[in-house]
Chains A and B, each alone.
Chain A
Amino acid sequence: MLAASCYFYMAFVPAYILILGFTIVIDYIAGIYLESVQSKPAKRAILIISLVSNIGILAFFKYFNFFNHTVDSLLGIAHTHTPLPYITFLLPIGLSFHTFQAMSYTIEVYRGNHKAEKHFGIYALYVMFYPQLVAGPIERPQNILFQFHTKMKYNFSDMKAGLMQMAFGLFKKVVIADRLGEFVDQVYANPHSSNGKTMLIASILYSFQIYCDFSGYSDIGIGAARTMGFTLLKNFNTPYFATTIGKFWSRWHISLSTWFRDYLYIPLGGNRVTMLRNFFNIMVVFLISGLWHGARNTFIIWGGLHGFLLIAENVINRVLKKYQLTFPDNFVVNLFRTLFIFLLVTLAWIFFRSPNMHSALQFIKTITHFSIHDKIIYGQFHPLYLAFIFVLIAFLLLKEKYYLVIPTGNNKVFYFSFITIMLCCYFLGIYNSSQFIYFQF
Chain B
Amino acid sequence: MSKFFGSVILAVLLAIYLISSSSELTKQIMLKKGQSDNKYFASDSYRFGDLFGMSYIPGFKIPAVRDHIKPVKNCFANNINVYAVCDSYVWDFVADKKLYCGADTFIYAITNIREKLHVKLNPKKQNVLLLEFSERNVRGIVNDSTYIDNLLTSSDRSYVESPESDSGIYASITNYLFNKKIEKNLELNTWDYAFLTPVKNLKTYINSHLLHKEDNGVEIAPDNKRLLLKVTTDSLQDASSFQNVSDKEVNHIVDRLNSVYTKAKLLGYNNVLLSIIPNPVSIYYPNLRGQTYNNLLSRIQNSPALKLKVIDVYTPYKASAQSLYYPTDTHWNSNGIYIWLNQVNAALAN
Chain A positions within 8 Å of B, measured between CB atoms, are 7, 10-11, 14, 380-382, 384-385, 388, 426-428, 430-433
How many residue pairs link A and B with beta carbons under 8 A? The number is 31
Q: B residues engaging A (CB < 8 A)?
A: 174, 177-178, 183, 202-203, 206-207, 210-213, 215, 234
Contact A388 B211 (CB under 8 A): yes
Partner of B206 from the list A11, A382, A428, A433 (CB cut-off 8 Å) is A428
Contact of A382 among B177, B203, B213 (CB under 8 A): B213
Instruction: Say yes or no: B211 contacts A382, CB within 8 Å.
Output: yes
Question: Would B211 and A14 count as touching, CB distance under 8 A?
Answer: no
Chain A residues positioned under 8 Å from B174 (CB to CB): 14
Asked if residues B215 and A14 are in contact (CB atoms below 8 Å), the reply is: no
Taken together as a complex, chains A and B put the C-alpha atoms of A382 and B209 apart, in Å, by: 11
With a CB–CB cut-off of 8 A, which chain A residues contact B212? Answer: 381-382, 384-385
Contact across chains for B203 and A426 when beta carbons are under 8 A apart: yes
> Can you list 26 A-B contacts (CB < 8 A)?
A7-B177, A10-B177, A10-B178, A14-B174, A14-B177, A14-B178, A380-B234, A381-B212, A381-B213, A382-B211, A382-B212, A382-B213, A384-B210, A384-B211, A385-B211, A385-B212, A388-B211, A426-B203, A427-B202, A427-B203, A427-B206, A428-B206, A428-B207, A430-B215, A431-B215, A433-B183
The complex places the Cα of A123 from the Cα of B311 at a distance, in Å, of: 65
Docked Cα-Cα span, A432 to B207, in Å, equals 14
Residues of A within 8 A of B202 (CB): 427
B206: nearest chain-A partner, CB-CB: A427
Question: In the complex, which residues of chain B have a beta carbon less than 8 angstroms from the beta carbon of A381?
Answer: 212-213
Q: Is the CB of B213 within 8 A of A385?
A: yes
CB–CB B211/A11 < 8 A: no
- CB neighbours (8 Å) of B183 from chain A are 433
Q: Give the secondary structure class of B's interface.
A: helix
Q: A240 to B206, alpha carbons, bound, how many Å?
A: 30
- With both chains docked as a complex, state the minimum distance between the C-beta of B22 and any C-beta of chain A, in angstroms: 15
Distance in Å from the Cβ of B191 to the closest Cβ of chain A? 10
| Min CB gap A38→B, angstroms | 45
A433 and B215 CA atoms in complex are apart in Å by: 12
Could you say which of B177, B178, B206, B211 has the most chain A C-beta atoms within 10 Å of its C-beta?
Answer: B211
Which residue from A11, A382, A431 sits with its C-beta under 8 Å from B178?
Answer: A11
Docked pose: A10 CA to B170 CA in angstroms = 14
- B26–chain A nearest beta-carbon distance, Å: 17
Q: How far is the CA of A3 from the CA of B89 in the complex (A)?
A: 44
| A432/B213 in contact, CB under 8 A | no
Enumerate chain A residues within 8 angstroms of B210, measured Cβ to Cβ. 384
Asked whether B206 lies within 8 Å of A432 as measured between CB atoms, the reply is no
Chain B residues, Cβ within 8 Å of A388: 211
Least Cβ–Cβ distance between A426 and chain B, in angstroms: 7
Which residues of B have CB within 8 Å of A428?
206-207
In the complex, besides A14-B177, A430-B215, A431-B215, 5 extra interface pairs with C-beta distance below 8 angstroms are A380-B234, A382-B211, A384-B212, A427-B207, A433-B183
Which residues of B are found within 8 Å of A382, using beta-carbon distances? Answer: 211-213
Cα distance A11–B177 in the bound complex, in angstroms: 8
- How distant is the Cα of A380 from the Cα of B211 in the complex, in angstroms? 12
Nearest CB in chain A: distance from B172 CB, A: 13
| Closest beta carbon of chain B to A233's beta carbon, Å | 29
Q: B211 — which chain A residues lie within 8 A by C-beta?
A: 382, 384-385, 388
Nearest CB of chain A from residue B11's CB, rounded to whole Å: 17
Closest partner residue, chain A, to B213 (CB atom): A385
A375 to chain B, nearest CB (A): 18
CA distance A159 to B260 in the complex (A): 61
Complex Cα distance A430/B211, Å?
Answer: 12
Task: Enumerate chain A residues within 8 angstroms of B215, measured Cβ to Cβ.
Answer: 430-432
A427 to B202, CA, bound (A): 8
* B12 smallest CB distance to A (angstroms): 18
Of all chain A residues, which has the CB nearest B191? Answer: A426
Interchain CA distance A10-B178 in the complex, whole Å: 7
Q: How far is the CB of B182 from chain A (nearest CB, A)?
A: 8
Q: Which residues of A contact B206 (CB under 8 A)?
A: 427-428
Shortest distance between the CB of B281 and any CB in chain A (Å): 16
Residues of B within 8 Å of A14, CB to CB, are 174, 177-178
Contacts of A380 in B (CB 8 A): 234
How far in angstroms is the closest Cβ of chain B from A163?
A: 15
Give Cα A432–Cα B202 distance, bound, in whole angstroms. Answer: 18
Measured between beta carbons, the chain B residues less than 8 angstroms from A427 are 202-203, 206-207
Which 10 residue pairs spanning A and B have beta carbons closest together?
A: A382-B212, A11-B178, A385-B213, A427-B203, A385-B211, A14-B174, A384-B212, A427-B206, A388-B211, A430-B215
- A9 and B128 CA atoms in complex are apart in Å by 48
CB distance from A390 to the nearest CB of B (A): 13
CA distance A148 to B74 in the complex (A): 77
A10 proximity list for chain B (CB < 8 A): 177-178
Chain B: CB-nearest residue to A389:
B211
A136 → chain B closest CB, angstroms: 23
Give CA–CA (A382, B206) in the complex, Å. 14
Q: How far is the CA of A11 from the CA of B175 in the complex (A)?
A: 10
**A312 nearest CB across to chain B (Å):** 41
**In angstroms, how far is the closest chain B Cβ from the Cβ of A423?**
10
Question: Closest CB-CB distance, A73 to chain B, in whole Å?
Answer: 28
Cα distance A176–B67 in the bound complex, in angstroms? 44
Q: State in angstroms the CA–CA spacing of A426 and B211 once bound together.
A: 15
Report the nearest B residue to A10, measured CB to CB.
B178
Q: Specify which chain A residues have a CB less than 8 angstroms from the CB of B178 in the assembled complex.
A: 10-11, 14
Q: How far is the CA of A142 from the CA of B174 in the complex (A)?
A: 36
Q: How far is the CA of A69 from the CA of B38 in the complex (A)?
A: 60
Contacting residues, chain A, for B203 (C-beta < 8 A): 426-427
Q: How far is the CA of A427 from the CA of B174 in the complex (A)?
A: 35
**Across the two chains, which residue of chain A brings its CB closest to B212?**
A382
Bound Cα distance A14, B206 (Å): 41
> B178, B183, B210, B213 — which one has the most chain A CB atoms within 10 A of its CB?
B213
